[in-house]
Structure 1
Amino acid sequence: MISDDEIKQKAIELEVSTSNVQRDYVFGWLLSGIFHISPTLSSSLILKGGNAFRKAYFADARYSGDLDFSVQAEIDPTLIHNELNQVCQYVNDNTGVTFAIDENRVQPKRVDKEIRAFEARLYFRSFFGDEHVDLKAKLDVTEFDRIFLPIQQREILHDYSDAEACVGNVACHQLEELLASKLLALIQRVHSPDLYDFIYSVFFQNALPVNRLQVLQTFLRKTIYEGSPGVARDLLLGIPFNTFKNFWEKYLVRPRASLISFDTAEEQFRNIIESLFGLLSGESRGTAGGIFRPGYLSHYSSEQRNLIMEAGRTQTLLQIHYDGLSRLVEPYSLVYKVRKDGVGREYFYGYCIQGGRSGGEGIRTYTQDKMNSIQLTDQKFEARFPIELTKSESQSGPEYFGRLFGR
């Protein structure tokens, strides 16, 4: 294990907390352990999310509170648990980091007809010797993630004094796919790290080239806008920048060398989006005011989605008038789906607590073509499910609605 002094010095140097440094250090060793002693996990887990940037691509990327993985088939949670216990022992043997292995947990994020996502919680003792302080390393595993670009093998990035020992390769999403996922997230939730990760990776880092056209094409494939890219462009330029600005510092944990002001981030994002969509040929570029085929492309406007996302962020009920009837709704998620007949729509998932045709409570889906009006109320609610319209460290992890109800 690295010394307390190295942890403190790294925290001072990077202007982050010692807890973030300790967790970041452990994440590197967990990835190394998976590579060295668990062929099952190393051949199944595909790193994505914030730590894919930091641990596979850019050593100065922001800190992330968990490790997110995709798997492309079913995976046994008991197997995950047993393998991670062995990985923890490997890390302990090689570093001296003490894990509370008996407290390790792997639990389903939800159970439907089949379990589709798991959360692993691994607890380790603070490096500073306080027996009453345990830190948590969280891993999220999502089954059957749809991956569009080739999976990459990258060397683990571990910027500590024992880097020569903490080695190995990690399977991860291609950089352009990670960036496409960030663009998708920006139009479906309010989470300032999404904007930061995109801007840092495309504009500020100088380590790797980015295929911008591939980013855009992959983003469009993840949505319903392949035939109407101008609509997607306008939605990206219409994200709630003022809300992002208010939370720019709250949810960002970045090394000092990677600090970006919000005003700079917004300016560069707008420029990059215009540049990205300018890469398309005039014939395929399209405009928001171009040909529109009702039933083929049904989606919420920037004004509507920003209202829905604000309600999710503040846990405030929405009063909606839908298909001729009034409803009081808890907002949870926006999800794109393409039916087998090729019809692409965006679905708003909400929990109806009052009104509607049946008058009963429950999860409902609402499409834009039947949405007459949306109004923000002053009534708060306690969330029954993860609110995917926003994200905090306590709500990180796999999506709920897009998986549970099909995509």
Structure 2
Amino acid sequence: MGPADQRRRVGVITNREIANFANEWQLDHHVVEKDYVLGWLLAGIAEHPQTRSWAFKGGTCLRKCWFETYRFSEDLDFTVTESDLDVGRLGETFMEIATWLDDQCGLGLIVDDGSFRQRQNKRGKPTIEGRLGYLGPLGMPTPPKVKLDLTADEVIVRRLEVQPVMHPFSDGPSSPAAGHLARVRCYSLPELLGEKIRALAERCRPRDLYDVIHTHRHPDLIGRAHDVAQILAAKCAHAHIDTPTLATIRSTPFRDEIETEWSNMLGHQLPHLPSFDDFWFQLDDVFAWLDGSRPLPQLTEISPTELVSDWRPARHMTSWRQGSSIELIRFAGANRLKVTIDYHPMQGRIGPRTVEPYSLRYTQQGRLLVMVVNDREQIRSYRADRIRAVSVEPESFTPRYLVEF
């Protein structure tokens, strides 16, 4: 047995595991497969000595390293040094990463002479675009591709963080209980938000609007508006653009285009597409927060009863069981959308009720509870095993308590 065979763990996960996740999360199977591949590719980049110093950023960084955004991204973005922008050396490096991936999980990464291309950004600076095919669990006859964007023309304002790569699948190499594959150098949460706001000002794409609103809501940003504003100003100065205001975003010539493309660009990346209008109007809150006139509210958790433990769910999407609707409830809460739950209690009213979802708890007896506020503004806890169906409503809500999703 050779060294590679000695290192080999299990083969690539089964297409049934992908299908189970896709059905539970209400996503296309190919979207889930790509999420699996992105996680392992990140682990390979973190492992290789030529790439482990890269700074991970962008929407995939938010989701893979910080918190569950529920938007399944399709590419990996990195800030690198100019010496890293060498097409030939990148090809050699990713050939080695491909070998490592095959040894670790059986994933087939396809690297060839056309995998990397040098481009120029709007400032005439060199960038690299990579497109890497892969042979994943679904075994598609035409290999899908993941995209890499590498740039050295970027200012990093705050110290980089080292974060775990969250991975809900069954083949995590270090500790399946920990739910991550590796640890990567990445942008801090304020830096990610500052860069997303700048991107929104420059390009006004649906994914940037979604990420700005979703990230702004995160409780880890309470009291950090000034920090984000400083980061935003530095990044805009580097890009030679004015620091955006609510008025400049509102007056963008891309307003109609971003609304038209909202469904086309995000519909396949989310379990349920929130209203464009809700996200567009919440820019008011973002810019009022940035200028200090509207701080993020410090909401309290829904107080558990004596029978409830202090357990909290994983930060990332996971599998609860086949047929479960828990992740759909978590998605709705994170996006401030009400849900209609068809509930069948042991005693009391059976049937649908529309509620605001806030959190999950386990009782000391091991029962999973969904903590909600009903239409009479009453706190209720619903046993997950008594929930028969869940549907996400288009109606949004303003949180009364801390949303823990």
TM-score > 0.5 by shorter chain: yes
* 1:20 counterpart residue number: 31
224, 227, 234: which one aligns with 1:211: 224
Q: Which moved more, 1:165-174 or 1:178-187?
A: 165-174
Tell me whether 1:3 sits opposite 2:14 in the alignment. yes
* 1:312 counterpart residue number: none
* 2:336 counterpart residue number: none
* 1:77 counterpart residue number: 87
Matches within 5 A, 1:269-348: 269-278=283-292
Tell me whether 1:46 sits opposite 2:55 in the alignment. yes
Determine the C-alpha separation between the residues in 1 that align with 2:292 and 2:16: 50
Deviation at 1:101, TM superposition (A): 3.7
Deviation at 1:79, TM superposition (A): 2.1
* 1:236 counterpart residue number: 249
Change (3 A) 1:208 1:113: closer
Change (3 A) 1:63 1:80: same
65, 68, 79: which one aligns with 1:56: 65
Change (3 A) 1:265 1:15: same
Are 2:80 and 2:151, in contact at CA under 8 Å, matched by a contact in 1? yes
What SS does structure 2 have at the residue aligned with 1:167?
strand
Change (3 A) 1:39 1:9: same
- Superposed CA deviations along residues 62-109 of structure 1, whole A, max 9, x for unmatched, are 111211111134223322211111111211222122233446622212
Change (3 A) 1:151 1:210: farther
- Superposed CA deviations along residues 142-200 of structure 1, whole A, max 9, x for unmatched, are 12421112111111111212235452111111211111122112222231110000111
Determine the C-alpha separation between the residues in 1 that align with 2:244 and 2:39: 40
Determine the C-alpha separation between the residues in 1 that align with 2:184 and 2:223: 20
* 1:90 counterpart residue number: 100
* 1:399 counterpart residue number: none
Are 1:236 and 1:273, in contact at CA under 8 Å, matched by a contact in 2? no
Deviation at 1:260, TM superposition (A): 3.2
Determine the C-alpha separation between the residues in 2 that align with 1:73 and 1:33: 21
What SS does structure 2 have at the residue aligned with 1:6?
helix
- Superposed CA deviations along residues 295-350 of structure 1, whole A, max 9, x for unmatched, are xxxxxxxxxxxxxxxxxxxxxxxxxxxxxxxxxxxxxxxxxxxxxxxxxxxxxxxx
Tell me whether 1:178 sits opposite 2:192 in the alignment. yes
Are 2:91 and 2:112, in contact at CA under 8 Å, matched by a contact in 1? no
What SS does structure 2 have at the residue aligned with 1:99?
strand
Unaligned runs of at least 5 residues, structure 1: 281-407
Change (3 A) 1:8 1:148: same
What SS does structure 1 have at the residue aligned with 2:147?
strand
190, 194, 197: which one aligns with 2:208: 194
Are 1:125 and 1:134, in contact at CA under 8 Å, matched by a contact in 2? yes
Number of matched residues? Answer: 273
AA in 2 matched with 1:216:
A
Are 1:124 and 1:134, in contact at CA under 8 Å, matched by a contact in 2? yes
Determine the C-alpha separation between the residues in 1 that align with 2:290 and 2:122: 39
Determine the C-alpha separation between the residues in 2 that align with 1:200 and 1:161: 28
AA in 2 matched with 1:41:
T
AA in 1 matched with 2:64:
K
- Superposed CA deviations along residues 353-397 of structure 1, whole A, max 9, x for unmatched, are xxxxxxxxxxxxxxxxxxxxxxxxxxxxxxxxxxxxxxxxxxxxx
**Percent sequence identity over aligned pairs:** 27
Are 2:232 and 2:243, in contact at CA under 8 Å, matched by a contact in 1? no
Tell me whether 1:137 sits opposite 2:146 in the alignment. yes
What SS does structure 1 have at the residue aligned with 2:215?
helix
* 1:152 counterpart residue number: 161
Determine the C-alpha separation between the residues in 2 that align with 1:277 and 1:52: 26
Are 2:42 and 2:165, in contact at CA under 8 Å, matched by a contact in 1? yes
- Superposed CA deviations along residues 260-305 of structure 1, whole A, max 9, x for unmatched, are 322321232212212321359xxxxxxxxxxxxxxxxxxxxxxxxx
Are 1:121 and 1:137, in contact at CA under 8 Å, matched by a contact in 2? yes
- Superposed CA deviations along residues 11-59 of structure 1, whole A, max 9, x for unmatched, are 22222222211111111111111222x112102x111111111111123
Q: Which moved more, 1:205-214 or 1:258-267?
A: 205-214
Tell me whether 1:250 sits opposite 2:264 in the alignment. yes
AA in 2 matched with 1:158:
H
* 1:127 counterpart residue number: 137
Unaligned runs of at least 5 residues, structure 2: 1-11, 175-179, 295-405
Change (3 A) 1:209 1:153: farther
Change (3 A) 1:267 1:232: closer
Matches within 5 A, 1:103-122: 105-110=115-120, 116-122=126-132
Determine the C-alpha separation between the residues in 2 that align with 1:16 and 1:112: 35
Are 2:119 and 2:128, in contact at CA under 8 Å, matched by a contact in 1? yes
What SS does structure 2 have at the residue aligned with 1:119?
strand
Are 1:176 and 1:210, in contact at CA under 8 Å, matched by a contact in 2? no
What SS does structure 2 have at the residue aligned with 1:245?
helix
